[in-house]
Amino acid sequence: MKRTTIALAASLLAAPLAAQQHDHHGPSSDSAAVAAVIERYHQALASGDSAGALALLAPDAVILESGGLETRAEYRSHHLPGDIRFAQAIRSARGPVAVTIRGDVAWATSTSTTQGDYNGRAINSTGAELMVLSREPDGWKIRAIHWSSRQRRQG
């Protein structure tokens, strides 16, 4: 029993270490396909294509932003219209997307800076994005999105 506990603890400690090293298991075409899905999602928002954005989300996808969690259905009726209006009003400069793949699951991280005016409010923020995707018979689907942002520091 003790040996099992030690082996489990060692494997739990090794998993985050492997993730931090950004090992890309799987062909580079898989990483490119994951990055392309994320790019298509952002393009759908910026072009006002809610159906296109929703088509990239798995039926059980969850979206975490502003301290809340929404199902795909809740997101469709609550935050998606606002995310589209925001993406159309203000362009964000997105940094590179780092993709990690483990079997049929991938996660991708990126950062962004956003500046401009939205609804009479000055926006000057940095953001971070985490998306979790899974390989499905019809391609990669977004299963979870987590966005966070903060005001950019002055000077």
**Does some domain include residue 99?**
yes
**Does some domain include residue 89?**
yes
**Does some domain include residue 125?**
yes
**Does some domain include residue 124?**
yes
**Does some domain include residue 7?**
no
What is the pLDDT, as a whole number, of residue 17? 33
Q: Reduced to 3 states, what is the DSSP secondary structure of residue 28?
A: helix
Strand segments, DSSP code E, in 76-138 are: 92-94, 98-102, 105-118, 121-136
- Comparing CA positions, the residue from 65, 74, 67, 47 lying closest to residue 57 is 74
pLDDT digits (tens, 9 = 90+) for 10-66: 333 333 333 333 434 445 799 999 999 999 999 999 999 999 999 999 999 999 998
Residue numbers of the domain that contains 117: 23-151
Contact 145, 119 (CB under 8 A): no
pLDDT digits (tens, 9 = 90+) for 70-93: 999 999 999 999 999 999 999 899
pTM of the model: 0.79
Between CA 85 and CA 76 the distance in angstroms is 13
**Does some domain include residue 27?**
yes
Between CA 23 and CA 13 the distance in angstroms is 16
Contact 109, 91 (CB under 8 A): no
Query: Any bridge partners for residue 65, and if so which?
Result: 68
